[in-house]
A and B are shown apart, each in its own frame.
Chain A
């Protein structure tokens, strides 16, 4: 994600930050840290594995893994070419296209859900047409994937676009002189050189897809095993037994932490 190639390397500093720095930082760190610790603290008990192995938990977990994986693959297949176009060619309406693709990043998920309903609902702009040929999208697993791609694919596109833009144009010109086609250049030069940016995009997209809640609830509804992903199961389970909600929260926490750690590693490597 970071386009800045300049990093100032500091020498090891011997003095310590004063209280005027530490105190405010401590407040923020505890605001984030205490709830995370409390979540783990409350969930680790004898019932943890009972809850973890309950049908609802397993259904939600496997559905989340399935839908988020499909979402990432779809985002990759459609988002990479789009990012390449954005990074490489100038055309009319390009600024508008850039804006449109970035929009879901700042859009509240509930707005995304309503927008999806208005477009692909049974009485939606395109949905009526689908309905007339017997396809109904809302309340299906496909609707979950559509909601996830809508909100998460822009992360991949942004990341990939930055990756493609950072590649030295002279490489491409040299390849063109040698007679390479656009596809060859993309496949053998651009993709390998942008691979780190793509990987960053994949991780960001994956975490966002895993956490998708608002758009899914509105567009895909809530049915165990079909559209009830982990965040939905946590929300619904929250009111019944806290057990399943806690277990799923811890699982999501662990997965997010793991993906974040990989992301940090990529960033650190990128700086050397």
Chain B
């Protein structure tokens, strides 16, 4: 047994695996925020004159992945020489990273809790803090509907496999609220929330993992943002009546440590402009109701 040749073979295989993973889209078929973030890092790596460019770093909730990537490209197109980089993950993960000193210019959160946390730690430019879009929840089913779900009531049927986001994730928190609200519906019954929670087979660590598990048909149903249902093609969507739904307000703000607050302000203005709102609406978000 030749150990050296084995070592060479194994290392070769390792390099092969690593390089296969770094090809965008080839490594993972999942829709997670992490994958998106690494593509944007890859794009910046190709950039030859990065030193001469203004770079805007944006930390955004996983649910904003497609909408913000879209906005970012258009913002780059209208502002030559500007490079927008994203890090998409669960809002609570981003908040923890920012607390631990991660450098960024803008934070867009899926809830107020995580943003307010940063405000209390003086990490946010308070003047720039504003709500910019809203989102609401829907139930999603795999295209083949393996659980034979016909309506929201079926989510409580014993044996159905339901996936939710963890309660530490904003979407998971909202999902619990919606389930509690739905229990007020006499047609569903007061035990509705408890029955659905009993069917939960996994609490995923971000909302995109919920979408992936349903897309793969591993779960019979999941509860996610309306925008997630738009981003994932082919899923069956069950609407939740407004009366029982929650309105998730998305705040955006400039970070106190921003190296380029002017550019950051310009991006937020773009996001809240009619054009920006139109793009956000296309991805399933609703405009923030201005009082």
Contact = CB atoms under 8 A, between A and B. Distances in A.
Contacts, number: 77
B17 A106 contact: yes
A59 B35 CA distance: 31
Given A117-B216, A136-B161, A111 B27 contact: yes
Interface string B153-170: 000000001010010100
Interface residues of A, number: 33
Interface string B194-232: 000000111111000100010011110000000000000
Contacts of A227: 202
Interface stretch (B2-10, B129-137, B243-251, B259-267): B2-10
A240 B96 CA distance: 10
A227 B203 CA distance: 10
Interface string B174-192: 0000000000000000000
Interface-centre pick from A98, A121, A218 (highest chain B CB count, 10 A): A218
A122 B28 contact: no
Contact of A102 (B10, B28, B205): B10
Interface stretch (A178-186, A188-196, A231-239, A260-268): A231-239
Bin chain B's interface residue count: 20 to 34
Contacts of B161: 136, 139
Interface string A102-123: 1101111011001001000111
Contacts of A99: 9-10, 13
Contacts of A121: 216-218
Interface in A224-263: 224, 227, 235-236, 238-240
B18 to A, nearest CB: 8
B205 A235 contact: yes
Contacts of A238: 96
Q: Which of A138, A221, A236 has the most B CB atoms < 10 Å from its CB?
A: A221
Contacts of A217: 205, 209
Given A102-B10, A235-B205, A236-B168, A108 B17 contact: yes
A123 B168 CA distance: 29
B17 A221 contact: no
B93 interface: yes
A123 B28 CA distance: 17
Interface in B18-51: 21, 27-30
Given A117-B216, A217-B209, 19 more contacts: A103-B13, A108-B17, A108-B21, A111-B17, A111-B27, A114-B28, A114-B29, A121-B218, A122-B217, A123-B216, A138-B201, A138-B218, A139-B202, A165-B1, A221-B201, A222-B204, A236-B203, A239-B92, A239-B93
